[in-house]
Structures are given as structure tokens and as C-alpha cells.
Structure 1
Amino acid sequence: MSLTIKSTIRLASGHSIPIIGFGVGYGYGGAFVDPKTATKPCVLEAFKVGYRYIDTAQVYSNEAEVGQAFRASGLDREEAFLSTKIYSASHGYDTTLDAVDSSLTRMGLEYVDLFLIHDACSGTARRLATYKALLHCRDQGKIKSVGVSNYGVKHLEEIKKAGYEMPVVNQIELHPLCQQKDIMSYCRDNSIVIQAYCPMMRGRMNHPVILSVANEYQKDPAQIVLRWSVQRGFIPLPRSSKFERIWSNAQIFDFELSKDDMDRLDALDRGKAGSISWNPVDVD
């Protein structure tokens, strides 16, 4: 079956997640865009294009606007996949319980489809307490699935050693120049779906190989790296405040990269040296 923007992947939790999402981390990396004014119109445009997965976070300060856009879209709740994240400053068991309720209130939702730990920067005790609290909220029906972001192998092993079930996703910086193969391999061995943030390298796609492949397929560089991500089995989370880019970034399902071209893009990997974002996967 050919892939479309509404194709999904089955998570270990039993729920399905779209194979591409729309990110709304405006103001974090690249040119600043006011999340209070950009989010609602951009999310509504993304819904028009066909996106059904919207990825926000408490630290983005636009959960309320994501909820407003969803309600204005006219979509049924089951048609949209909405996720958010808790930042390390709020980690801890009781603070996480409060944070989940606060996110639901801001978004105007009874539940979120996915709740992530945004980063592992709070230390072992607090991040495990946070994870335990998210599992509790899931059992209460406030969250459908629990995941993590910016987690390295040691942080994922920490969850396993504590006796908790593994997260269903790990959202990390991932693009041809920064492939984080040790984390990628671990996640695949443990049925953790990999989400790719900064999949378009914040516009730094002028590498000769990327440009050559784009010319070969008569696509723009963003479409090439997003298609690479999808074919590698990742869930890319492109973001843009420009309507024309929101549309063009979704036009990646009418072509397929050959094995040779996938190999050419794979060969661009520089490990963490290719990172262009925060990427705190090595924190203690």
C-alpha cells in the first residue's frame, strides 16, 4: 500500500500515530516567530493540508492555541493526534500530575494522545518519578500513550532497569547529517518508534548531495530529507509559519527515493557533530 499523509504506525501501546506530524515549536531555533499569533492559523492550515498530528510542548507556550485550532478545525477528536511535553524544570511525581492537568486545561481536552518527557536534564530520580506519574495519568485516561524526547540509550535503559514498561516513542534530533545511530538501533530493538525533530536541519540543506538528489527528483531539498525520514521509518515533525511551506512539506508521498539515493543520504551522517539543535542526549 502506498503511503499518504494520513498513513499511520502502530505503537506498542496499541494506538496508531500518523507517519508525519506538524511541529509548533516557534521561537525555538531559527528565526523567532511569536507562538501566540502564529500557532492557531498555522495549525488550521496544516489540518487543511491533511496533517492530523500536531506536536506541541508546555515550554512552547502555545498549548492553548493548539487546542483552539483543533476546535476551530471541525475535526472529531478521534481524527486528530495531539501531543505535548513536560520540560525538566517541572519534573517530579506530584509536579507532573499537576502539569498534565494544566496541559489538558490549557488545550481544552479530556485527554492527549501522547505525552512526552521533553528532556532528561533533571537527573535519574526526578525523571523516573516523572515517567511513573505519566504512566499513572495514562491509567486514569488522561493520556493515551507515554513517550520521551532527547533520551539517550542510558536514559532508556534506566527506565527498563526500574521495571517500567518502555516508552512508545523517543523524539530526537534526526536528519541525514545527524542520525544518532546508537539511539536509533536501541529504539528499534525495543519497539520504540523514533520521531525526528529538526528533520529539515532548520533550512541548512545546501549540501551538494542533498541538492543533487533534489534536482534528480525535481523536488526541493526539504521534500527530499523529509521523504528520507519517512522511508527510514522515522516520524518527521516539520514546522513552518509560512503557508506555502506547510503545503510543500506535505508533498512527499508522490515519489520514492531509490536505494542508491537513500544510501547517498545515509552516508552524510556526521554523528552528533552534525547536530544543529539542543540535542541533550548525553546528559547525566
Structure 2
Amino acid sequence: MTSPTTPSAPATPTVPALTLNNGVTIPQLGFGVFQVPDDETTEAVASALEAGYRSIDTAAIYGNEVGTGRAIAESGIARDDLFVTTKLWNADQGYDSTLRAFDDSLEKLGLDTVDLYLIHWPTPAKDLYLDTWRAFERLYAEGRTRAIGVSNFEPEHLQRILDLGGTVPAVNQVEAHPALQQRAVQAFGAEHGILTEAWSPLAQGAVLGDPTITDIATRLGATPAQVILRWHLDAGRIVIPKSVTPTRIRENLASVDVQLTVEDRAAIDALDADGRTGPHPADFN
């Protein structure tokens, strides 16, 4: 008589990794915590880590670095197996204030280092991002962050950093989704070895009901979100979807196993419509 077998747990999806311009690798699919209250962040990040995410993206302005750090500490996952990103807020730009803000973020996260530190916005009217970048270069040289980059930078902002002749940003994190594809920003980044990372990769849900997306999802037996996330991955972007729902957290991670055709990708490429949901970097100060 044979004993009944216990069903095995579903395999954790294997997330591809990309190599930054300094040789550091980053999981291509990460977990974002934008707009997650701090008291809910620990549970959300814990769910993401349990599901198999190993890259977590937070920011000083999100007000949830403490909750993020608590989840990391309680996870039992080795620090070397995690990739943690945080960002400098606009009010803290400037050389000395950047160094103080970085210390504050590390303390809240409960970490000795982060893997990626980003300037959150260029805030061009303040014109402090070059001094800020010099402070970032110091933090990088001291080994306190494994990579440095920017967020919401347009080509003209990136060019001014490149003109300094120092460290090239590893990442530019920008709003990107089927309705806002940021082709000029991405092309500039690709030319200079700067990877594009997509925030609001699902346009805060605005593109999930698009017939092109839903038709592809129905044919593949996938969710619309999975189709869009796979489209990002196929385009070579880093992507950081956010959710506080455990089932959706797992579904988003499973997008790595979705397979789009060339025709599927072309159909989604055709949806570009300058559909920005956040502020424009040239005007946000």
C-alpha cells in the first residue's frame, strides 16, 4: 500500500537579474512600497520576501523606511541576498544635507549600507542636484552604497551629471508604462549605460482595462498586470510593482513566467500616449 503524497509547494519564480554599469547585479523585478503606510509596510514587505522578491524599493519621503527595515530584519534572509534601494528627498538636496539624510535613512532602515541610492527628483529650479551628486559619489566611494543613481531625470539633467566627468548614474527610475513609454529618456540612458527602472509600471491601474492588454491576458491565461510586467521585463527595464495584497504580490512575481510574442510586445508598444500620471520632472520643484 502506497502512502499518499503531500502536494509540493509551487516553485518560486526565478527572477532575472541585470548588471549595472559598475558590475553590481540587481533583480529585474522588485517590490515597491510607495504610498504604503509605515504600519502596513512590514507586513507587505514580509509577504513580498516570503513570495520570493529579493529587491525592495523605498524612499525617505514614503515615511516607511522603518517598516521596511523591520521586515528585512525579521525575514531571516541574509543581507547579501537582498537588494535595498532608497531615495533622497528634494528638501535634503545639497552636499552636507545629503550626507545627513543618508545617515538618517540608514538608521531608519537599520542597515549599514544600501545597494542603491537615488536622487528622487532633479528639482531643477533649486539647481542643487550637482552638489547632491558629489555627495552621492562620496557615499559610493566610501562603500556605504553599492551603486548610485537618479530618479525622474530627463536627458538634459542627466547630461549635466555626465559633464562632471565622474561616476555615471547606474539607474534612472522614471514613470513608465504602456501609456508613457519614455523612449527619449530610455534611449539616452542606453547610450550611456544607465538602466531604466519603471515606477508606476501599471499606471496606477489605468492601463489594466485596455482591450489590447486584456485580450493578450485572456489568450495567455494571465492577469493584465502580469502581461504589462512581462512587457517591461522583455524591454530590459527594471520594474517595481507595488501591492499590499498577498495574492497580487505573488501574481506580480509570477509575471516572470509569462511569455509574450513579438506581436504582443508590438501591440503594447503601440499604446504609447503620453499618459503621465505623476508630475513632469521639468516642473516639479
Task: Using structure 1 for the length normalisation, give the TM-score.
Answer: 0.92
Report if the CA contact (8 A) 2:17-2:27 is conserved.
yes
Task: Using the aligned pairs only, state the percent identity.
Answer: 37
Corresponding pairs, count? 273
Which residue does 2:277 correspond to in 1? Answer: 276
Which residue does 1:144 correspond to in 2? Answer: 146
Report if the CA contact (8 A) 1:5-1:18 is conserved.
no
Give SS of 1:144's match: coil
Report if the CA contact (8 A) 1:88-1:122 is conserved.
no
Q: 2:25 aligns with which of 8, 11, 16?
A: 16
Report if the CA contact (8 A) 2:38-2:65 is conserved.
no
What is the distance in 2 between the residues matched to 1:70 and 1:78?
A: 12
How far did residue 278 of structure 1 move?
2.7
Deviation string 1:116-144 (CA, Å, 9 cap, x unpaired) is 00001154741001111011011111111
Residues 123 and 142 of structure 1: is their aligned pair in 2 closer, same or farther, counting only changes over 3 Å? farther
Deviation string 1:186-240 (CA, Å, 9 cap, x unpaired) is 0011111110011111112111111111111111110110000000000111001
Deviation string 1:130-173 (CA, Å, 9 cap, x unpaired) is 11101101111111100000000000001011222210000000
Q: 1:74 aligns with which of 62, 73, 76?
A: 76
How far did residue 277 of structure 1 move?
2.0
Give SS of 1:84's match: strand
Which residue does 1:30 correspond to in 2? Answer: none
Give SS of 2:80's match: helix
**Equivalent residues in 2 for 1:197-216 (5 A)?**
197-204=199-206, 205-216=208-219
How far did residue 241 of structure 1 move?
1.1
Mark the runs of 5 or more structure 2 residues left unpaired by the alignment: 1-12
What is the distance in 2 between the residues matched to 1:167 and 1:254?
A: 30
- Segment of structure 1 superposing worse, 259-268 or 199-208: 199-208
Which residue does 2:10 correspond to in 1? Answer: none
Residues 53 and 155 of structure 1: is their aligned pair in 2 closer, same or farther, counting only changes over 3 Å? same
Report if the CA contact (8 A) 1:172-1:279 is conserved.
no
Task: Using structure 2 for the length normalisation, give the TM-score.
Answer: 0.92
Which residue does 1:221 correspond to in 2? Answer: 224
State the one-letter code of the partner of 1:117. I
State the one-letter code of the partner of 1:18. P
Report if the CA contact (8 A) 1:173-1:279 is conserved.
no
Report if the CA contact (8 A) 2:227-2:258 is conserved.
no
**Equivalent residues in 2 for 1:235-254 (5 A)?**
235-254=238-257
How far did residue 114 of structure 1 move?
0.3
Report if the CA contact (8 A) 1:90-1:99 is conserved.
yes
How far did residue 283 of structure 1 move?
5.8
Report if the CA contact (8 A) 2:65-2:109 is conserved.
yes
Which residue does 1:29 correspond to in 2? Answer: none
Report if the CA contact (8 A) 2:226-2:258 is conserved.
no
Report if the CA contact (8 A) 1:89-1:122 is conserved.
no
Report if the CA contact (8 A) 1:230-1:236 is conserved.
yes
Deviation string 1:248-274 (CA, Å, 9 cap, x unpaired) is 11111222100011000000011xx31
**Equivalent residues in 2 for 1:1-284 (5 A)?**
4-26=13-35, 33=36, 35-123=37-125, 125-204=127-206, 205-270=208-273, 273-281=274-282
Choose 1 or 2 for highest CA Rg.
2
Mark the runs of 5 or more structure 1 residues left unpaired by the alignment: 27-32
What is the distance in 1 between the residues matched to 2:59 and 2:124?
A: 17
How far did residue 37 of structure 1 move?
1.7
How far did residue 279 of structure 1 move?
4.1
CA RMSD of aligned residues (A): 1.6
How far did residue 7 of structure 1 move?
2.2
State the one-letter code of the partner of 1:8. A
